[in-house]
Amino acid sequence: MKNPHDDTKQAMAELDSGQGKRSATADKLFEDLGIQRFDSVWDALEETPQDAQLMRLRSTLLQEITQRVARWECLDVVAAHRLGVALPELECLREGKIHHFSLEELLAICNRAGLNVELTVTEA
Protein backbone atom coordinates (compact mmCIF):
# COMPACT_ATOMS: atom_id res chain seq x y z
CA MET A 1 0.00 0.00 0.00
CA LYS A 2 1.28 3.43 -0.94
CA ASN A 3 2.06 5.80 1.90
CA PRO A 4 -0.12 8.94 1.47
CA HIS A 5 2.82 11.10 2.49
CA ASP A 6 4.96 9.86 -0.42
CA ASP A 7 3.35 12.33 -2.85
CA THR A 8 3.85 15.15 -0.35
CA LYS A 9 7.49 14.21 0.18
CA GLN A 10 8.08 13.96 -3.56
CA ALA A 11 6.41 17.31 -4.22
CA MET A 12 8.37 19.03 -1.48
CA ALA A 13 11.63 17.53 -2.76
CA GLU A 14 10.84 18.82 -6.24
CA LEU A 15 10.10 22.27 -4.85
CA ASP A 16 13.30 22.24 -2.78
CA SER A 17 15.32 21.34 -5.86
CA GLY A 18 14.04 24.70 -7.04
CA GLN A 19 15.14 26.27 -10.25
CA GLY A 20 11.87 28.22 -9.90
CA LYS A 21 9.99 25.44 -11.65
CA ARG A 22 6.82 23.80 -10.45
CA SER A 23 6.22 20.16 -11.18
CA ALA A 24 2.84 18.65 -11.92
CA THR A 25 3.12 16.70 -8.64
CA ALA A 26 3.71 19.88 -6.65
CA ASP A 27 0.89 21.72 -8.41
CA LYS A 28 -1.48 18.82 -7.71
CA LEU A 29 -0.46 18.71 -4.05
CA PHE A 30 -1.07 22.40 -3.56
CA GLU A 31 -4.39 22.17 -5.38
CA ASP A 32 -5.46 19.20 -3.23
CA LEU A 33 -4.54 21.08 -0.07
CA GLY A 34 -6.28 24.26 -1.21
CA ILE A 35 -3.01 26.20 -1.11
CA GLN A 36 -2.64 29.11 -3.51
CA ARG A 37 0.66 29.63 -5.32
CA PHE A 38 1.90 33.08 -6.28
CA ASP A 39 4.74 34.19 -8.51
CA SER A 40 5.54 37.10 -6.19
CA VAL A 41 4.94 37.92 -2.55
CA TRP A 42 3.23 41.08 -3.76
CA ASP A 43 0.73 39.00 -5.75
CA ALA A 44 -0.22 37.32 -2.47
CA LEU A 45 -0.36 40.49 -0.38
CA GLU A 46 -1.98 43.03 -2.66
CA GLU A 47 -5.66 43.10 -3.59
CA THR A 48 -5.27 43.69 -7.32
CA PRO A 49 -2.69 42.76 -9.96
CA GLN A 50 -2.11 46.49 -10.53
CA ASP A 51 -1.30 47.05 -6.85
CA ALA A 52 1.06 44.06 -6.89
CA GLN A 53 2.84 45.41 -9.96
CA LEU A 54 3.23 48.82 -8.34
CA MET A 55 4.72 47.22 -5.23
CA ARG A 56 7.16 45.16 -7.32
CA LEU A 57 8.36 48.38 -8.98
CA ARG A 58 8.69 50.19 -5.64
CA SER A 59 10.50 47.20 -4.13
CA THR A 60 13.00 47.07 -6.98
CA LEU A 61 13.76 50.78 -6.68
CA LEU A 62 14.14 50.58 -2.91
CA GLN A 63 16.60 47.67 -3.25
CA GLU A 64 18.67 49.51 -5.84
CA ILE A 65 18.82 52.63 -3.68
CA THR A 66 19.93 50.75 -0.58
CA GLN A 67 22.58 48.85 -2.55
CA ARG A 68 23.91 52.11 -3.96
CA VAL A 69 24.06 53.73 -0.51
CA ALA A 70 25.89 50.69 0.91
CA ARG A 71 28.55 51.03 -1.81
CA TRP A 72 29.15 54.66 -0.89
CA GLU A 73 30.60 53.66 2.49
CA CYS A 74 29.98 57.10 3.94
CA LEU A 75 28.42 58.57 7.04
CA ASP A 76 24.63 58.43 7.25
CA VAL A 77 24.35 62.20 7.27
CA VAL A 78 26.33 62.37 4.01
CA ALA A 79 24.23 59.62 2.38
CA ALA A 80 20.99 61.30 3.46
CA HIS A 81 22.19 64.62 2.04
CA ARG A 82 23.18 63.01 -1.28
CA LEU A 83 19.74 61.36 -1.52
CA GLY A 84 17.92 64.53 -0.49
CA VAL A 85 16.21 62.85 2.44
CA ALA A 86 16.27 63.32 6.21
CA LEU A 87 18.10 60.81 8.41
CA PRO A 88 14.84 59.11 9.52
CA GLU A 89 13.89 58.59 5.85
CA LEU A 90 17.31 57.08 5.15
CA GLU A 91 16.67 54.64 7.98
CA CYS A 92 13.25 53.81 6.51
CA LEU A 93 14.95 53.04 3.18
CA ARG A 94 17.47 50.76 4.87
CA GLU A 95 14.76 48.97 6.85
CA GLY A 96 12.75 48.36 3.69
CA LYS A 97 9.73 50.37 4.83
CA ILE A 98 8.32 50.40 1.36
CA HIS A 99 4.96 51.92 2.29
CA HIS A 100 6.76 55.04 3.48
CA PHE A 101 7.66 56.00 -0.10
CA SER A 102 5.60 56.52 -3.23
CA LEU A 103 6.85 55.39 -6.62
CA GLU A 104 7.45 59.03 -7.54
CA GLU A 105 9.52 59.63 -4.40
CA LEU A 106 11.63 56.54 -5.06
CA LEU A 107 12.22 57.64 -8.66
CA ALA A 108 13.40 61.04 -7.45
CA ILE A 109 15.70 59.42 -4.87
CA CYS A 110 17.11 57.13 -7.57
CA ASN A 111 17.87 60.17 -9.68
CA ARG A 112 19.67 61.90 -6.82
CA ALA A 113 21.59 58.65 -6.15
CA GLY A 114 22.85 58.71 -9.74
CA LEU A 115 20.71 55.77 -10.83
CA ASN A 116 19.09 55.72 -14.26
CA VAL A 117 15.66 54.10 -14.29
CA GLU A 118 14.31 52.69 -17.53
CA LEU A 119 10.93 51.07 -18.08
CA THR A 120 10.39 48.04 -20.25
CA VAL A 121 6.87 47.11 -21.27
CA THR A 122 6.08 43.56 -22.43
CA GLU A 123 2.95 41.62 -23.18
CA ALA A 124 1.41 39.87 -20.20
Query: Do residues 50 and 40 lie in contact, with contact meaning Cβ atoms separated by under 8 Å?
Result: no
Angle between helices 76-83 and 49-72 (to 10 degrees): 130
Sign of CA dihedral 89, 91, 94, 99: negative
Inform me whether the pLDDT recorded for 37 exceeds 70.
no
Given a cut of 80, is residue 35 above it in pLDDT? no
- Write the CB contacts of 35 (distance below 8 Å, at least 6 apart in sequence): none
Average pLDDT score over the chain: 80
How large is the average pLDDT for residues 12-28?
59
> Taking the complete model, does pTM exceed 0.85, yes or no?
no
Cα gap 87→80, rounded to integer Å: 6
DSSP SS3 for 52: helix
pLDDT-based confidence at residue 119 (cuts at 50, 70, 90): confident
The residues near 49 (Cβ < 8 Å, ≥ 6 apart) are 43
